[in-house]
Amino acid sequence: MNVNWEGDAAFIPDLKTGDFPLRPLHPRKLKCDCEGAEWFIRPQHLDGVRRIEMELHMPPIGGPVNRRLLDYIGEHYDFEIERTPGYDVKGVMGVLHAVRKNGR
């Protein structure tokens, strides 16, 4: 898929959740909308990622919540979670906007 974002243009291959840590892509930005599979991301997968835009889904659509991932983001990123009031069959949802603290 061809992507243009904040003045950067790139071809981005589609990845399956299981491929993410195995591919040597070294992304600087992570945009994640994967309907609950975001909790499979491990802190080491974010090595070198400077910016994250990610939907966060709570059960029943997502989960269990990965506390290690949230703790890592809280320690290494300045972030906010834009909460979406969606207490329906899809569960509670929010959008994480994060920028790495040290700029790397």
- pLDDT for the residue 37: 81
User: How many Å apart are CA 76 and CA 52, to the nearest integer?
Assistant: 12
Tell me if the pTM is above 0.85. Answer: no
Most confident of 32-36, 62-66, 74-78, 80-84: 74-78
**Sorting pLDDT into bands at 50, 70 and 90, what band is 75?**
very high
Tell which wins on pLDDT, 5 or 89: 5
User: How many Å apart are CA 6 and CA 96, to the nearest integer?
Assistant: 18
- Given a contact cutoff of 8 angstroms between Cβ atoms, the answer to whether 66 and 41 are in contact is yes
For 7-16, the pLDDT digits (tens) are 777 776 666 6
User: How many Å apart are CA 74 and CA 104, to the nearest integer?
Assistant: 16
Most distant pair of Cα atoms in the chain: their distance = 38
Q: Output phi, psi for 38, to 5 deg.
A: -60, -25
User: How many Å apart are CA 59 and CA 7, to the nearest integer?
Assistant: 36
- pLDDT for the residue 22: 46
